Amino acid sequence: MPYRFLMDNDGSNFFYAMSADTAQAVREAVAECPECVTTYLLCCGAGTYYYPTKVGTVCPHAKPLLAALKRGEDPFGMFLDALKKAGKETFVTYRMNDVHNPDAEDEWNLPRIRKEHPDWIVDAEAIRNGKADWMSYCLDYSRPGVRDYILATLRELVANYRFDGLQLDWMRFPRHLSGSSEEVWQKRGILTEFTAQARNILRSSGREILLSARVPAGPEGCRFLGLDIAEWTKKGLVDFISAAAFLTSDFAAPLVEMRSLMKDRPVPIYAGIEFGHSPQTHCPESLRAAALGLYDNGADGINLFNFPCWIEYLASRPYHWLDGIATAKAASVRPLLFSVSHAMHRIPKVDLPGQLPVSLPGGQEKELILSLPKAALPARRALLLAQSGGDIRMAVNGHRAKEDPALRHAELFLEYAEKRPDKENCRVFRIDPEALRPGPNRLRLANAAPGDLTVERINLGIW
């Protein structure tokens, strides 16, 4: 399978904040992207767009972008051109249903199609009944007018810009068809036909333009959204897929099952890593651990999502971390920080399930699973941290772990970009490295406090 290390830039961190010298801003953004990134995916916008569209609406909040467009510049096109000149494989990533702040009074992210046809959404009834969440406002692709509008914007992008590929991002936000989960699956042909039409737009350009899709990290999530990746690959509609969670990182994913759906027509699968592994931001040790786990599960490469958004927390983006996850060999460098899956920012039935947080009533026990890749073992040292809110007992694969009060801290490494948890609510255990094994590891937690506890986080550090 072709080797790629992909990085997805949502665009907001650039088009909202670029300097008045557009050419210099573009040069700096491209120059700081590390050489190990082979494929750069630049977002063309959300409900509103970052390029001078005649089909949709330009984002009204991106003031530096609007000023540049008024000067006759096209920062989006300049960015794409600079990436190509820098030798990057360059993709436009298209968010199939971005519904950030869908009911904002200033309509900053309101798609033109939803403004003109407010009922062309997946759950108008929930809005009428006051039970809506953001994804109730997602455009309903079973409406021909919705498909026509999105396809018109794709034609516009292909006509106006030169790029190597187009990514259909079905994970921003993951709801595209109205009805129950069974009704959505019955309508899956609609999204397959849409993908075929997008493919035809690329082919009719007379240029070789790849098509990829960003989808859930498991077969069940794809089915829930009506994304028939088996049919897509059977018909040769996509060149590769990226399997990802909505807004968190998986340290293990059923990529073998995903590939088995494709039977004799497999395409590369690039596994997604997000900005954090909720509720923590990534650090170099956790990035390596997540990448190593996904490589072990069969990923052909990594698709790093939202990483340029570190600028929201730091004065400079920590691009120097990325050499450590570009390959499985690089990711195997110790130390590593693994994390038990957390439900925060996971969408039920779309994402893989999260195990935390978990309630532990007084005197009760709970078993959790933490999967480890083969390349992480054997270890010479291992520490386990639990943010438990009180005293707990811990065993790993039947081996008792011993708490070390001298190590009572909120993190094993430097893991929080913002406020750290209270270290008094955390417990650190020394565990026998020989107790660890590749694949699922069973963690047995028991409440040793006088009252009820809630375990919010469990991390495993390996040296």
> Do residues 145 and 290 both lie within one domain?
yes
In a domain, 95, yes or no: yes
Whether residue 399 contacts residue 415, with contact meaning beta carbons closer than 8 Å, is answered with no
Is position 345 within any domain? no
Residues 218 and 367 in one domain: no
In a domain, 394, yes or no: yes
Residues 452 and 316 in one domain: no
- Give, for 28, the enclosing helix (H) or strand (E): helix 22-31
Does position 79 have pLDDT exceeding 90, yes or no?
A: yes
Query: pLDDT for 351-387, tens place per residue?
Result: 999 999 999 999 999 999 999 999 999 999 999 999 9
Number of domains forming the structure of the chain: 2
- Domain annotation covers residue 173: yes
Which CATH number covers residue 74?
Answer: 3.20.20.80
Q: Is 70 exceeded by the pLDDT of residue 299?
A: yes
| Rounded-to-integer distance, Cα 371 and Cα 251, Å | 8
Last residue of one domain, picked from the residues 333, 366, 393:
333
pLDDT in tens, 313-345: 999 999 999 999 999 999 999 999 999 999 999
| 342 occurs within a structural domain | no
Contact 33, 319 (CB under 8 A): yes
Joined together, the tokens standing for residue 424 give 């008094």
Q: How would you label 308-323 residue by residue, b for 16+ Cβ within 10 Å and e otherwise?
A: bebeeeeeebebebbb
Q: What is the mean pLDDT of the chain?
A: 97
| 258 and 399 within one domain | no
Please, is 238 exposed, middle or buried when counting C-beta atoms within 10 Å of its C-beta (0-12, 13-18, 19+)? buried
Among positive and negative, which fits the CA dihedral 192, 198, 203, 208? Answer: negative
Domain harbouring 414, CATH code? 2.60.120.260
* pLDDT attached to residue 1: 65
Per the document, the length of the chain is 463
Q: Fill in the DSSP letter of residue 319.
A: G
User: pLDDT digit string (tens) for 172-226?
Assistant: 999 999 999 999 999 999 999 999 999 999 999 999 999 999 999 999 999 999 9
Rg (CA), the chain: 23
Query: Does residue 267 share a domain with residue 154?
Result: yes
Query: Where does a domain end: 333, 368, 386?
Result: 333
Q: What is the pLDDT of residue 2?
A: 78
Q: Identify whether residues 307 and 364 lie together within a single domain.
A: no
Tell whether the torsion through CA atoms of 273, 104, 140 and 211 is positive or negative: negative
The answer on 303 and 218 residing in a single domain is yes
- 317, 402: one domain: no
Would 446 be classed as within a structural domain? Answer: yes
Pair (174, 39) in one structural domain: yes
Phi, psi of 460 (to 5 degrees): -120, 120
Identify whether residues 316 and 395 lie together within a single domain. no
Is residue 341 one of the residues assigned to a domain?
A: no
When pLDDT is averaged across residues 55-71 and rounded to a whole number, the result is 97
What is the C-alpha to C-alpha distance for residues 392 and 409, in angstroms, rounded to an integer? 15
% the chain with pLDDT above 70: 100
Q: Are residues 377 and 411 in the same domain?
A: yes
CB 287 within 8 A of CB 306: no
State mean pLDDT over 445-458.
97
pLDDT in tens, 147-173: 999 999 999 999 999 999 999 999 999
pLDDT at residue 167 in the model: 98
- Residue at 125 is within a domain: yes
| % of the chain beyond a pLDDT of 90 | 99
Same domain, 112 and 165: yes
Average the pLDDT over 84-108 and give the result. Answer: 97
Torsion of the alpha carbons at 213, 218, 221 and 227, rounded to the nearest 10: 40
Q: In 364-419, where do the E strands start and end?
A: 365-372, 382-387, 392-396, 399-403
User: What is the predicted pLDDT for the residue at 32?
Assistant: 96
Q: What is the mean pLDDT of residues 106-119?
A: 96
Over residues 226-269, the pLDDT tens digits come to 999 999 999 999 999 999 999 999 999 999 999 999 998 999 99
* Whether the model pTM is above 0.95: yes
Domain that holds residue 325: 4-333
